[in-house]
Amino acid sequence: MRVLGIEGTAHTISAGVIDEKEIYFTSSRTYQPKDGGIHPREAANHHFENITEVVRESLLKSGLSIRDIDLIGFSKGPGLGPCLKIAAVGARSLAIKNNIPLLGVNHPMGHIEIGKRTTGSSDPIVLYVSGGNTQIIAGFNGIYHVIGETLDIGIGNMLDKFAREIGVPFPGGPAIEDYARNGKELLKLPYSVKGMDTSFSGILTAALSLKKKGNRIEDICFSIQETAFSMLCETLERGIYTTGKKEILLTGGVARNMRLREMISIMSHEADCKVFETPLEYCMDNGSMIAQAALLMFQNGIRQNLEETVVDQRFRIDEATAPWITSEMKSAQWGKGAESIIKEDRFLNMPSIIKKRVPKNYRNKILDESILRERTGRELRILSRGIESGLSFPMVFDFIHPNEIKMEKIDGNLLGDIMMRGGKQEYYMQELGVTIARMHTAGISHGDVNMNNIIISGDDIYLIDPSMGSLSPGIEEFATDLKMIQDFLHGNGSAGEKLFSTFIGSYSANFREWEKVKAVLEDMERRKRYS
């Protein structure tokens, strides 16, 4: 089956032709703004002027004509509205005129599927990094789930904005990579990780401040890369232990960065996980990736009428079905995680555990030591405050070493395992709502409320590993705790929405500032960034 794919979400208009055995040819033209970032109308005009040429060239270089095409796919979204419309109108015109089936494709899915095809990866956890996108994605039961993402701007946008401030035209990432190679001093920048989510706007603000103070551009770029890429590696590694995946797929425009690839290679080796790097030519937006996703959709029975091919600027990958994905979530491995190694011990003849944070070789040594010290100290303080406040946190027995804590062993089952088995889900969501509300009322945020950090022991719900939380949280931190629970439940479709509603009903009835938290939670949903 020969498929023509047309990509036009942002700065690139591209067409590619493939079939089941061969990627024939990809033709692309990229809009280069005279100043600033992408101007949507100007980019759309660029696409309008070039779409006919890229389609013609992709067919000509493939040795085919439009009469040889069996299916047309186009980028339905997410992306810039004016750009998306050019690709959609062009694809519809070709499909109608030549009586060819048409499918609107989710843009991130295209990146993933061309990455899988060109690398041989079969069931990966995906790090998708581009201008407007920073997402960790894993496929289960016919859907690609977003298990971690940026809470503000995409990493590519952050790099491009800083580059503009130092006089580098779009795209700025390659220039920053060049500057960083000559950097020597690691400068202090915000390291913002919440569970598997990240935030990059603070890095941009701090980097611009360092520039005004006269720090070397090379050192600033070096520090930006070391800090931001370490955040990506950490959240990706946490995703590996949460999902049980044994493959990593790296894709998107920022995935071309050699330092990022080096860091992920080191991390994957330590996590006993195989890494697959999408070839450089397919990391950037391209028509062949759209064709590949369209091919899989068609082969798996997905059809769309003309009315269903309307563009969607905020088309999330977890809203697109992927019937070819059959893998299931695996249980977390006891005693080993992204950050720590845990072993059983005794304290005054009581069962205990020793939690030891381990250094990360992918991180700059100075940065790594700072993070380990900070998180161990924060966990000690939060556990102590939690116990004082009557919360179900493990008791701390001893502080053995700057990075080791001896604490109470909680016998029970991870809530994630219970939720996968389907046991008493409504009850536990209601009780979790009460527990989180009590924690927030005590002035504590957790910072990593994933289902593997919640233990059910008898009738009690214990919260463990609050090392990314705060003892002086704002409403944003409270909302982030809730978002992590929502993200986990989102993977269960309508059942997950019902369970989150149960959780929220219980939480809101027990936390006075619920209305403020609700407003921030809704704002988080609105400010998600896509390209």
- Cα separation, 473 vs 458, whole angstroms: 30
Contact between residue 321 and residue 143 where contact means Cβ atoms under 8 Å apart: yes
Other Cβ atoms within 10 Å of 346 Cβ, number: 11
Q: Of 257, 302, 304, 309, which Cα lies nearest the Cα of 93?
A: 309
- Cα separation, 76 vs 357, whole angstroms: 44
Kindly tell me the burial class for residue 417, based on how many C-beta atoms sit within 10 Å of its own C-beta (0-12, 13-18, 19 or more).
middle
Cα within 13 Å of Cα(248), Cβ side: 30
Quote the crossing angle between the two packed helices 201-212 and 217-243, to the nearest 10°. 160
459 is catalytic: no
Q: Which residues, in sequence order, are CB contacts of 530 under 8 Å at separation 6+?
A: 77, 78, 79, 132, 133, 313, 314, 316
- Cα separation, 9 vs 80, whole angstroms: 6
Angle (CA) 480 79 287, round 5°: 125
- The DSSP result for 437-481, as a single string, is HHHHHTT-B-S---GGGEEEETTEEEE---TT-BSS--HHHHHHH
- Cα separation, 422 vs 433, whole angstroms: 18
- Cα separation, 94 vs 373, whole angstroms: 60
Element (H, E) at 291: helix 287-299
Q: Is 2 strand, coil or helix?
A: coil
Cα within 13 Å of Cα(356), Cβ side: 10
Per the residue annotation, which of 448, 465, 481, 487 is the catalytic one? 448
> Catalytic residues, which ones?
448
